[in-house]
Amino acid sequence: MNEALIRLIRSLSASFSNQEQAFENPPLYGNILVRLRPLPQLDPGSLLLEQAYAIASNEPYRVRVLQPTISPTRGLMILNYSIRDDQRFWGSVEDPQRRSQLTAADLTLLEGCSYQVQQTAEGFCGEVEPGCQCLVTRRGKTSYLVSSFELTDEGMSTIDRGYDPATHEHLWGSIAGPFQFKRTDDHSAEIPDHWITDLKNNGGTVTGNGEDR
């Protein structure tokens, strides 16, 4: 299992763009950049995520720390952390010095928003853990997130949708199908050697940043 975890961390340490999809069908898909880079100062697997429109790449609309990990009871997972005052780190996905200032004290685990992950022949697939507990607010209205992804050596497809907690009505998210991202840069060389050593030596079980999972 720990070999699968290392492979997942390497595969996620990359930049992605759906430019081709967006240019082919601009009414339905914005041109989005998804960039993830290792954070060596945090626990093994911790990756800074910035998601932004290409026309405003340094003004991301989503900034998170994701941490692929292994739960003793649930297997391969990706923990999802919010960042306190995340605007401090906007654009730091391209700025190593600013990235290095992010600490575990800045992070809050988003309960109910971890991804359960399976290894596939092509790579990985995952979806937000069940229970409808990953709550998000958009345009002043609370919804629960249903999200899934597929990850391969070539790229990644994702789909996020929000539903009303009371009626389960679809409130937001793609109606035209998944976003199709192509891998544009590989950042796996930035993964520190001590992460790999730690993950190989710990028997395949790790804890999250300040969280016992």
How confident is the model at residue 213, as a pLDDT?
A: 42
Which residue positions in the chain have pLDDT lower than 70? 203-213
How confident is the model at residue 212, as a pLDDT?
A: 45
What is the Cα–Cα distance from 13 to 81, expressed in whole angstroms?
A: 17
CB 205 within 8 A of CB 72: yes
Residue 208 corresponds to which tokens in the numbers above? 């999250």
Residue 105 corresponds to which tokens in the numbers above? 């004290």
- Tell me the C-alpha to C-alpha distance, in Å, between residue 180 and each of 17, 38, 98: 8, 23, 29
How confident is the model at residue 206, as a pLDDT?
A: 54
How confident is the model at residue 174, as a pLDDT?
A: 84
- DSSP assignment letter at 210: T
In sequence order, the β-bridge partners of residue 69 are: 77
Residue 164 corresponds to which tokens in the numbers above? 């009303």
Which pTM value belongs to this model? 0.92
- Write b or e for each residue in 77-99: b if 16 or more Cβ atoms lie within 10 A of its Cβ, otherwise e: bbbbbebeebeebeebbeeeeeb
- Tell me the C-alpha to C-alpha distance, in Å, between residue 162 and each of 13, 29, 51, 136, 184: 27, 17, 18, 8, 28
How confident is the model at residue 139, as a pLDDT?
A: 81
Percent of the chain scoring above 70 in pLDDT: 94
How confident is the model at residue 138, as a pLDDT?
A: 85
How confident is the model at residue 207, as a pLDDT?
A: 58
Count Cα atoms within 13 angstroms, Cβ side, for 195: 26
Rg (CA), the chain: 17
- Tell me the C-alpha to C-alpha distance, in Å, between residue 192 and each of 111, 162, 175: 28, 36, 40
CB 45 within 8 A of CB 174: no
